[in-house]
Chains A and B, each alone.
Chain A
Amino acid sequence: MRLDLNKYLRLVCPQADGALVVSARSIYILPTGFGLVYAVLLLLLLIGSINYANNLGFLLTFFLTALGLIAMVHTWRNLVGLRLRCGRPDPVFSGRTASFPFYIEATGSRLRPDIELLYSHIAIDACDAGPGQENRLNLTLTLSKRGRFVLDRCVVRSRYPLALFRAWTYVQPEVQCLVYPRPLSWTPQALVSAEADPGNGMARRDVSGTDYHGLREYRPGDPLKTIHWKSYAKGQELMALEFETPTASDLWLSWDAVPGPDMESRLGQLCHAVLDAAAGNLRFGLRLPGKTLPADDSPHHVDDCLRALALFGLES
């Protein structure tokens, strides 16, 4: 049976305005390995000073002892009152690196050097936080599992100024990152099942389209560059070029259309298809078992589709 020590930890949790403020009580402090060696050195110096009754030796020994104590206070003070704010990470595809930005705010008027950010015992980023600059730590994690990744407890640590002590605090930012499925490329022969929506094959005609369609009579307000000068030169009426903007038929990306074989690879293939469709500026819809997203071509739509794929089968 394992004792759950975690519930005894003093965690720094977000305040009402979302800031993580390191309080005095939540800081842990212990000597580093170097600090222990330093203590051994102090002991040696003390023994030497006593033995030779060397007063300058005493002075040096006691000075270094006091220095160690003062350094401990400074290490502690380097963390206390620190305000962190965890920003939103952008969603990532599985297997890619998500970056959780931590902004250090309100450091006061003094520099707080050596603020390190650790995630499960590994230092990820560090900076010297000071006033009048952007103090940002990036917690970069490579996320491999599709779904909603909830950031666990992080550690904020400092060893400033003499590295004799390390002070740390556990922070629990309430932040999560959406992990999309990893896009799997596949031969899109099955895309033939993309259905055309009847009545959607109309095109809009305009002077401002892309594909040339024909000539029409000049209307006031038509841009000069669209005027068909040739015909005007022939003494005919002013004519304007007319272009047409094709409105493609809606593409439907469907669960049944991708080869599979299992759920995760289907999601990956659909993800790839969504990205392809978005890259081609296509108007598309997504059909998943139990969920259908109607055809659209707005940027939001891509996000919505990817989110649906990321959370498929994980949340109701």
Chain B
Amino acid sequence: MNSTLESVIHQASSIVLGKERVIKLSLACLLAKGHLLIEDVPGVGKTTLAHALAHLLGLEYRRLQFTSDLLPADVIGVSIFDRNSGEFRFHRGPVFSQVLLADEINRATPKAQSALLEAMEERQVSLEGTTHPLPEPFFVIATQNPGFQIGTYPLPESQLDRFLMRVDIGFPDRQAERALLKGEDRRKLLSRMTPVMTPARLSEAQRLAGSIHASDAIYDYCQSLLAYTRSSDRFYHGLSPRAGVGLLNAARAWALIGGRDMVLPEDIQAVLPSVAAHRLQGGTDAETGGESLVRHLIKSVPLP
């Protein structure tokens, strides 16, 4: 299994150059059965990353560009009146895919956003009284532009909590950018690649990640971290229990990727910024961003 995962990472980083850590985090997110939010300025390869992951994992992939006039029906599907038969037929929306890339999710109205997020949470769609289960596996990789631009609807905190991780890609370093400039078009490169995994292999990897051993010391450490965010003045409100569960699952997946059969504090610390930063807000005084808050959190809570 390890070699398979390594090969996924290796191949993905040949597409998204110089971003191995981001790829690993994204992969860990998927192995922990979580949805991923990628936040960065346009053009750094958000879509490519999502595309590459879906392709290499052998998953069916659809892309949905979110706009301000997007309706919930555009996401989850619609019942269309069939003139010939005289009845309504349910047409599945793009959400019925194994990987949905929701591009620029913060451009859509809260209504459309919440339609997607409900589907993410329940892994099914209810429309006109009937329930349509979503395929398994089902991932949403959403991207959003940072900053509060005009005409955007930033995701409310309650919705952000449904994404296991939020990563930012960042600009490539000099060497990687050079290779990017020299190299072929990424899309073409991607289309030539063969999938490394199958959905069956993926669910096996997920199962494996879930069985990674976490000792009492790790549980203690997790709880101390959560307790600190809940009691310290620096944070507007503490991390939710869901965030705690997600943190541990993500750390397990990270340990699996690292080739270990147990969770180490380093694993927690590695995934903590991605898991916690988008859920944390500065307290009453400090208007600090999520990342610096997480750094403060890691430094403040000693290992058990």
Contacts and interface: CB of A to CB of B under 8 A. Distances in A.
Contacts of B233: 88, 174-176
Given A88-B233, A176-B233, A220-B80, A17 B302 contact: yes
Nearest to B81: A238
A17 B284 contact: no
A191 B94 CA distance: 48
B284 A178 contact: yes
A60 B267 CA distance: 61
Contact of A86 (B71, B81, B111, B231): B231
A222 B233 CA distance: 47
B134 interface: no
B300 A17 contact: yes
B88 interface: yes
B264 interface: no
A17 B220 CA distance: 14
B283 A18 contact: no
A305 to B, nearest CB: 14
Contacts of B228: 17-18
B231 A220 contact: no
Nearest to A221: B73
Interface string B201-236: 000000000000000000000001001101111000
B230 A17 contact: no
A226 to B, nearest CB: 11
Contacts of B128: 224
A238 B88 CA distance: 13
Secondary structure dominating the interface of A = loop
Contact of A16 (B88, B231, B300): B300
A169 B114 CA distance: 51
A307 interface: yes
Interface string A77-96: 00000000111100100000
Interface in A164-208: 174-176, 178, 208
B301 interface: yes
Contact of A18 (B73, B88, B300): B300
A222 B300 CA distance: 52
B79 interface: yes
Contacts of A105: 227
B37 to A, nearest CB: 20
B302 A87 contact: no
14 contacts: A17-B302, A18-B228, A88-B283, A91-B284, A103-B227, A105-B227, A174-B233, A175-B233, A176-B233, A178-B284, A221-B71, A221-B74, A224-B88, A224-B128
Given A17-B228, A85-B231, A221-B73, 6 more contacts: A17-B300, A17-B301, A18-B232, A87-B230, A220-B80, A221-B74
Interface of A: 16-18, 85-88, 91, 103, 105, 174-176, 178, 208, 220-224, 238, 307
CB-CB nearest 3 A-B residue pairs: A221-B73, A87-B231, A85-B231
